Amino acid sequence: MIPTIDSQWFKSCEAHWGSVRALDVFAIAVHNQKLQGAFSLQSLDRVVQDLSEQPYVKDLEHMPNTGLGVVWFELTGRTDNQERMWLDLQVVTKVSLTCQRCLVPFVFEVNENIPFHLVRRPNQVESEADDIDPDAPERLLGSGRFDLMGLIEDQIILGLPYVPKHDVCPKTVDNRHLPELSAVEPLENEKKSPFHALKVLKKDI
C-alpha cells in the first residue's frame, strides 16, 4: 500500500513528532495498525555522518522552508490470505547534497516505499525461493521490540545516490562570464593564423 504523499499526509505525520521507540511489529501486522510520525534527520547518526552539514531541526517550528532536516514516515501492517505478515514502510526526507559535477549543493528528496515480509525466526529471513525470484519481497526479522528508527535509517541510506549530481547543473556566475563559442568567428581567426600566412608563403615559393 502506497499512501498519497500530499500536504495532508505530511501534516498527519507531523502530528506525531519525535523519536520512535522500539515497538512490537508483529502486533502492528496482525492488527492491521498504521503508524505515522516525523522526526529530526539528525537523530540518524549513520545518515548524517556521511553527509555534508544538514540543518538541525529541533521541532517543527524550526523546520526550514526547504523541508530539509526532517524525516516523515508511515508504517502499515497487514496479513495476507496465506496468513503471512507484512509491513509497508513509506519514508520521505530531504537532504542537502553536493553535486559532484559542479560542486553546488542541491536538495535531494528520498521517497521510498518498501513492502517487507515479516518473519519470526532468523532462519526464515533467507529462503530458497528468493534465489529463484530476484523480485521476491524483502524478508524482515520482526521483534516485539523492533528498532523502527534503524529500519528507516537503512532505507534512507539505500535511497541516497552513490554519486550525487544535478539532472542539469545550474549556470554558475563563472560560466556566465565565459565567452560564448559563437562569438568567435572562425574565418577571421584563420586569416590571422600564422600557419595560414605560412601556407601563403609556400605557395609563393
Q: Which is nearer to Zn ion, 102 or 114 (CB)?
A: 102
Q: How far is the CB of 161 from Zn ion (least distance, A)?
A: 12
Determine if 171 is a binding residue for Zn ion (CB under 5 A): no
Residue with smallest beta-carbon separation from Zn ion: 99
CB atoms within 10 A of CB 68: 17
Q: How far is the CB of 166 from Zn ion (least distance, A)?
A: 4
- Burial call 34-50: b when 16+ CB within 10 Å, e when fewer: ebbbbbbbbbbeebbee
Q: What is the full DSSP assignment across 170-203?
A: PPPHHHHHSPPGGGS-HHHHHHH-HHHHHHHHHH
Of the candidates 55, 50, 51, 53, which has an alpha carbon nearest to the alpha carbon of residue 66? 55
Determine if 166 is a binding residue for Zn ion (CB under 5 A): yes
Q: Which stretch binds Zn ion (CB under 5 A): 67-75, 88-96, 128-136, 158-166?
A: 158-166
Q: What character string, x for contact with Zn ion (CB under 5 A) and - otherwise, covers 80-109?
A: -------------------x-xx-------
Residues at the interface with Zn ion (CB under 5 A): 99, 101-102, 166, 169
